Structure formats: C-alpha cells, structure tokens
Structure 1
C-alpha cells in the first residue's frame, strides 16, 4: 500500500499516464524513450506500491481496470495541482510579502514627511504585496512598541543608546529654539539676559531630561508636556517659556504670537534616528523599506 508519496512514485505515475494516453506499452516506449520491458517493470512497481492492478495487458489489448480509471483521474488532479503550485511559487519569487509597521515621532517637519512619503512611494513600486501601518507617538511609546515587536522601524528624537536592545541610526537634525508668547513679560523685552530667563516658568519635556545638548533649563518649572502641541499650548498661554521645533513655531512667529529668546546662544539641534530592534531577524520587507527610506533622506536632506 502507498503510505507516503515519494519522487519515484511521481515518476511511476507519469509513466502510467503516458501509457494510458498512448493506449499501450508499445506506443509509449517511443514517447518515453525506454524499452517496453522497462515500462512493464515500472508499471508493475507502481501496482505493487498501490496494492492493486491498474490495467490489463496482453493479447486482448490494453485496458484500464476500474481502479485504474480512478487512479488516472486522481493522478491528473495531482499533476494539475503540482503545476498550479509551481506557477504560484514562481510568481512569488522576488515578491515582498507580509506586514510593515512604522512609527513616527510627533509633529515632524514637512520635508521629513516628504522623505517618508517618497520612501513609501518607492517601496510601492517594488514587486510587493505588503500591508503597511503607520502611527505617530512620543519617543518613549515608539521605543516600547519596538521592544514589544509592535513596530518594525521608527523615526524619532531618541537618545542613542537609551535602549541597548535597539539600534539607533542617525537620520537628520531638527533645530530647537526657546520661545515666549505675547502676554509674557519677556515678549517685548529688547535684550533679556539669562538671569531674566531663570526667573521664568519653563515648560518641562520629560523625555528631554538628561539631554546635555539643551543649553538652558530654568530652575522654575510648574508644567510638563509629553507632546509638542501641549508645549505650544503652555507657551501660548503667556505664562511660560519653552523650547519648540522651529517649524512648529514658524506660523506663530509670522502672526507675531511667539518671540524667540536668545537664539544665537540658546538654540540647539536634536538628533533624529531611524531605530530598529537589534536582536530581531530583519525581514526582506523591512530591509527593502529601510533601503528606500535611507535613499529618500540622503537625496533630500543631506
């Protein structure tokens, strides 16, 4: 009895189908390129493997048994399924398949978003069928999701080495500037000093604690903000000063609602990174997207 199907069984079944289509051993030997006695031997092997007779051969001519008829039908279905599998497998060769989860830091500048968009566009031009998801969150949340395998890549103002399990690749810089708003005591001050600033209530961004690049921190801080929009709201109240990305402050500068404080002295750049999990196997999908992402940033921002 045929317990498992091996390569030799497929070879025997192909001989069987050829014999049937040629209506006998004699005609099949020319098609198969083997002798009639070899064909007979191979057919006997197949019948032994199956445990029953497939055909009657002799002076009465060649004729399939009822079981032979059923085996012929099943064999043709099998070969059709094999061809279908081969076609599908060949169609998947070189195709990127799977999912890609991307995390972005909050309130990115338009040129940065343009780079991300270009990377997505280039990625979609590849031979792929990938389900993509993109979310925006604060850096600690992005790191948490990376560590829990909920994201494949993330872009944000992380502190390099903050999480040893993550790999931080420098991507671009974002300029930060200290601001106050209309209604604040320093808004119309012609030349405030550091002592003047030290008497101001500054918005504290918890994730920036320990950032040695930040050139000014007031000893007074009664408000905290996880997100840039919240920092902006506190500053616009006129009761607080605080750092903001230049591109976030730009429209408020144009409408004369914000004023920079000692930009030549207190401006600083925040390093943004492309972050991936160091210890996880990188998929072809992830590798391809990172390649497109780095190409887009190199062409646009560098």
Structure 2
C-alpha cells in the first residue's frame, strides 16, 4: 500500500497512466495519448491495482467505468498534481523570475490581423520574461474550456457564446462573417436580386457544429445543413468544392473573392459578427503568468 511507504517514480508513473486512462475514457483511447500499447496499459493498471489492493475500474461490453475506489484514487491524483504545481509555482515566485511553460490555446486558425496581434503579444512576453517557454496549440472549444478549468492552460483565444462559471472573458476581436459560395456552385453567377431566402433552402450548407451568437443562429436556420465543419480552413474547402454554401470570415474569404473562386451572397443581409475573447481561469494556479499574458495582449492596443 502507498500509505505505508514513500512514493517511488514508478508509483507516480502508474498513477499518471491511470489518470490518462480516466480522462481519455478507457484503455484504447489512452493508447495514442500515452504512446504505449494496449497490453502495456493493461499491465500498468494491473500493477497499480495490485499495489493499492483496490479494483479501480471495470471494462466490458458496457464500456469503461470507474469503481467507487477508482473515483477516490482519481480525485487524490488530481490533488497530488495540484500540490506539485503549487510547489513549482511557489519556487518560481521565490526566485522572482517567471519560468516554465506558458500555454496559450486557440479555437481556430488565425487570420492575418490576429496573427499580427498575437505576434506582438509574444514579443512583449519574451521581453518581459525571456526564460518562459511559450506553448501555443489549436484545440476544439470543449477541450480548451476543460484545459483552462484544470489549469492546463493559462489563456485562450476563443468565441464566448457559451460563457462558463469559473472562467473570465475579455473581448478581443469582432470579425464579420459572410455567406459564401464557390465558383462551381449554381448560385455563383446569379445576381443577388434573384436569390431569395426560399431559394437558399434548396442547396446544402455547412454548419459550424457549435453554438454561435443569436444573429448567426437566425441566418443558419434559413439554410439546409448537410455538412459540418467548425475550423474555417475545413469549411473553406467544403465551400470551394461548389457543393455547399457556408459562412466565412471576411479576411479568410477575401483572397478567394479577389481571384474569382468565391463570392459573397447578399453581404448586406447575410452576415453576422464572429466575436472572440481572451479567456482565462478566474482563479488560476499561476496568476503571474496569466497576468503577463493579459498584459501582453492589451499592450498592442495601448
């Protein structure tokens, strides 16, 4: 039993394997995350259960499920990781120099204006804390929210249509989104005056697959969704195919408008604002890093 002795490095490894299995929702799903085989994960889990003298989970036709003991052990692992992170934070605070990783997440690919803004913010961060290791990644919205709440990320750039308790939202960008069609689409050569709302129902459209603001929802209800793509680059491919209508940001669509590969459909009517926010945890574990990141993104405006 762990309670009778010091935790070894191997014990900690087993506990982290168990945590990954739980958060991935099963052994098979954890293979990619851990980069080990299914048989190795099974062996690790058996070793952990033997060392603890507990049955942590059950697998069967009904899927993966934690036992009551497994739920308690998982909660204890989270507390252990919190204590470890708090220790690292305390040491960094004593040294008065920010160090370690600062993680920034984005929910979609950045257009040129946002790329430039983020580049200036990263320059500020490097000048203020040159030893900080900046990590930037692109993740789905739900994973970003979870990462922020679990203190696995410091800040994110994402839509704020669904604002969650425990997270703080600061307005960042508002980009117009327009209804587009590709050159091969039947509506491409029709003048806007001949395109009615009823006519749009006859053509397949791309849905973002997530909740958007009320103006956008009203416009989407006028279309016939037959494809789903949240990421703008994937949505762009579907629209360029000529098979689908769909909404794109002005900055992303503009180069294709200029070359005649895309067109806007009634842009004065079929558009809505795509609003993004800088999002942080309200009570982050490393407030100095979060404060630095927020100062960096506001520095450009100032």
Deviation at 1:210, TM superposition (A): 5.2
Q: Which residue of 2 aligns with 1:200?
A: 203
Tell me how large the CA RMSD over aligned residues is: 2.0
Q: How does 1:1-302 map to 2 (within 5 A)?
A: 94-161=96-163, 163-190=164-191, 191=193, 192-207=195-210, 209=211, 211-214=213-216, 215-217=218-220, 218-296=222-300, 298-299=301-302
Q: How far apart, in 2, do the equivalents of 1:250 and 1:263 lie?
A: 13
Cα distance in 2 for partners of 1:203, 1:127 equals 43
For residues 138-190 of structure 1, the C-alpha deviation after alignment (integer angstroms, 9 at most, x for no partner) is 323322221232211001223252x2221111111111000011121110111
In structure 2, the partner of 1:3 is none
TM-score when scaled to structure 1?
0.63
Q: Deviation of residue 101 (structure 1)?
A: 0.6
Q: What are the superposed Cα offsets for residues 41-66 of structure 1, whole Å, 9 maximum, x if unpaired? A: xxxxxxxxxxxxxxxxxxxxxxxxxx
**Corresponding residue for residue 11 of structure 1:** none
Contact 1:181 1:258 in 2 (8 A): yes
Larger radius of gyration: 1
Gap change, CA 1:219 and 1:251, over 3 Å in 2? closer
Runs (4+) off by over 3 Å = none
Question: Any idea what SS the aligned residue of 2:110 has?
Answer: coil
Q: Which runs of 5+ in 2 are unaligned?
A: 1-90
Any stretches of 5+ residues in structure 1 without a counterpart?
A: 1-88
* Whole-angstrom CA distance in 2 between matches of 1:93 and 1:226: 43
- 1:133 counterpart SS class: strand
Whole-Å separation in 1 of the counterparts to 2:141 and 2:207: 15
Distance 1:112 1:226 in 2: 18
Report how far residue 293 of structure 1 moved.
1.3
